[in-house]
Amino acid sequence: MLNKQITMDLEKVLQGVKFLSKAKKDIEMQLSEVINEDKVKSLFDGELKIENLSDSEQLNLLTVIYGYAKDERFNPSTVLKKEDKKEDEEPKKDDMPNLYFDFSFKTEFASQYKDDTKRVVLALFRKTAEIENNKGKDLHSFNKEELAEAIISLKAKTVRSLQDKVSTIERYIDFAKDNGKTKINYATLFDTREKLEALLDKEAEENMIFDKDEIMEMAMSADNAQDGVILGLLFDGLSHKNEFEELVELTKNDINMDTDNQEIVLEDRNVPMSTETAILVNRALDEDKYVSITGEKVRKYKIAEGDNVLRGLRGKNKVKGQIISQRLLRIADTFDYPYLNATTVSYSGQLHLAKELIEEKGVSINNAIIAVLKRFALPINNSSQFTLRNRIEKYLDSSK
């Protein structure tokens, strides 16, 4: 993932930090939260090369070093943009037809765009060529399941980048329809953030786990309690399914603020609230102005009155799921965490609860799995239990 120069620069930082005991200890501690402790030790000892880490581990290393050094060479956003740009560079002309499925039709579609966009479009088709060749047909002839498989193969790491790619595929299939090559555009079915999140690079996403302190620090530091409370609610156990239905419908009548038993009372379960989430819920209910910061411009909007915890602007007393997604994206941009989304916040909450039950309360892993599934309104079946068990065991091993 990381280019040779960035890798060399990171290795120099690690070698230099070895002689600064406090800095080394701080960095080791931070790295051990997101990368296996043995790997961290091997990195410092020079026994493990950075290029042998997975993409997600390299990104975690980059993020930690950037937080320590504040050196723009290691800014994850900048590095990722450069890597994406590099992927979009065109190969030599002689090689081009062999790198695409139906090169002539793909280039005919791409020729509609200006040079910069054309390069990005063709880079996308080079990535889909393998699965097209394996299936022996063009992207425009894929059914819904095959198209989902193709989108997953792009290994997009953020919803924003995936939206751009799916939008291009959708326009391409429309172009194919106009040319009589297909009748149905299945790409139009991937039209919500929730559907796109399911198609992200799961290795990268599942490895990006935030601890409670990180989540709550972001939540409490957000410009608006209306934004920060979303992180707290998702981390504590509210579901983000069905376009954030539980968050959209949450009102002050669902909140029990009893000092000994702060919890959210839903139809199918009660969700205990952390102290931070309870504070944010109260702030969100009281908040009457929403601050929007763009560059140096600061604007304030009136928040609608009402009993809902999350309320809209300009008189809309309920927010839509799309607005909640936008608010999460704003927090991710503010704190420069490309993997911060509803899924990773929920995963982080699930693993925090599991660890607390197993290590602090002595609950067996089987019972902890059931408790987590119930808390987060997840289906209780063999598949979900198997998936969660693997995630918990991996997390506990990496935390040792």
What's the confidence (pLDDT) of residue 82?
56
Across 200-204, 241-245, 348-352, least confident range: 200-204
What's the confidence (pLDDT) of residue 20?
67
Beta bridge partners of 298: 293
- Per-residue pLDDT tens digits for 268-294: 999 999 999 999 999 999 999 999 877
- Per-residue pLDDT tens digits for 215-228: 999 999 999 999 99
Amino acid, single-letter form, for residue 289: K
Whether 88 has a pLDDT exceeding 60, the answer reads no
Mean pLDDT, residues 33-56: 78
Please give the residue that has the higher pLDDT: either 233 or 97. 233
- Per-residue pLDDT tens digits for 258-273: 767 899 999 999 999 9
Per-residue confidence band for 249, with pLDDT thresholds at 50, 70 and 90: very high
Please give the residue that has the higher pLDDT: either 105 or 69. 105
CATH architecture designation of domain 209-400: Orthogonal Bundle (1.10)
Calculate ∠ Cα 227-233-236, nearest 5°.
Answer: 145
Whether 156 has a pLDDT exceeding 60, the answer reads yes
What's the confidence (pLDDT) of residue 196?
86
pTM above 0.75, yes or no: no
Please give the residue that has the higher pLDDT: either 3 or 188. 188
- For the record, the structure tokens of 275 come out as 């102290």
- Per-residue pLDDT tens digits for 366-380: 999 999 999 999 999
Alpha-carbon separation of residue 105 from 2, 111, 170, 201, 203 (angstroms): 33, 10, 15, 28, 33
DSSP states along 40-86: HHHHHHTSS-GGGS-HHHHHHHHHHHHHHH--GGG-HHHHHHHHHHH
- Per-residue pLDDT tens digits for 164-203: 899 999 999 999 999 999 999 999 999 887 888 888 766 6
What's the confidence (pLDDT) of residue 32?
74
From the list 256, 250, 360, 257, the residue with the least C-alpha distance to 311 is: 250
Whether 111 has a pLDDT exceeding 70, the answer reads yes
Mean pLDDT, residues 86-92: 49
Please give the residue that has the higher pLDDT: either 378 or 64. 378
Mean of the per-residue pLDDT values of the chain: 85
Percent of the chain whose pLDDT exceeds 70: 87
Please give the residue that has the higher pLDDT: either 19 or 260. 260
What letters, b where the CB count within 10 A reaches 16 and e where it falls short, cover 43-69?
Answer: bbeeeeebeebebbbbbbbbbbbbeeb
Whether 81 has a pLDDT exceeding 60, the answer reads no
Whether 68 has a pLDDT exceeding 80, the answer reads no
Question: Cα–Cα distance between 278 and 251 in angstroms, integer?
Answer: 13
What's the confidence (pLDDT) of residue 295?
66
DSSP states along 88-136: TS---GGGGGGGSSSHHHHHHHHTTS-HHHHHHHHHHHHHHHHHHHHHT
Whether 400 has a pLDDT exceeding 70, the answer reads no
What's the confidence (pLDDT) of residue 45?
80
Per-residue confidence band for 98, with pLDDT thresholds at 50, 70 and 90: low
Mean pLDDT, residues 22-47: 76
What's the confidence (pLDDT) of residue 178?
95
What's the confidence (pLDDT) of residue 376?
97
In the chain, what are the domain boundaries?
A: 4-75, 88-200, 209-400
Question: Cα–Cα distance between 320 and 306 in angstroms, integer?
Answer: 15
Mean pLDDT, residues 63-68: 75
What's the confidence (pLDDT) of residue 80?
60
Question: Cα–Cα distance between 308 and 325 in angstroms, integer?
Answer: 17
